[in-house]
Amino acid sequence: WSKYDTGQSTDIRAVQNGSQVFIKELRSRTFPSADDVVVKLSGLQLTVEYLEQDGFSEPILAQKKEGLGMSMPAPTFYISDVENYVGKE
């Protein structure tokens, strides 16, 4: 079950992430489609008022960035570029 298992018997055993038991359990499960979980809104619909009324209990996908009041980086901007702008620490 776990590399930290002391061999002591317990009713509930923790399964180590990445172990064969974990992977087998994960593969046996079914998960809902993203279409059933993700709330899709336009940038204009995603407002403070929306979040105050409906909350943020499901993932939200803003399908269009217009209306978000945000500037998006160029497609050639990578996470490593952040280090160049703000430094390593």
Which phi and psi (to 5°) does residue 52 adopt?
Answer: -65, -35
Give the start-to-end residue ranges of the domains of the chain. 1-30, 34-70
Q: Which residue has the higher pLDDT, 88 or 8?
A: 88
Q: Answer for the pair 33, 12: CB distance below 8 angstroms, yes or no.
A: no
Q: What is the rounded CA–CA span in Å between residue 36 and residue 66?
A: 24
pLDDT at 6: 59
pLDDT tens, position by position, 9-54: 556 778 888 999 999 999 999 999 999 999 999 999 999 999 999 9
Q: Could you tell me how many helices (H) and strands (E) the chain has, helices first?
A: 4, 2
pLDDT tens, position by position, 42-89: 999 999 999 999 999 999 999 998 999 888 889 999 989 999 889 887
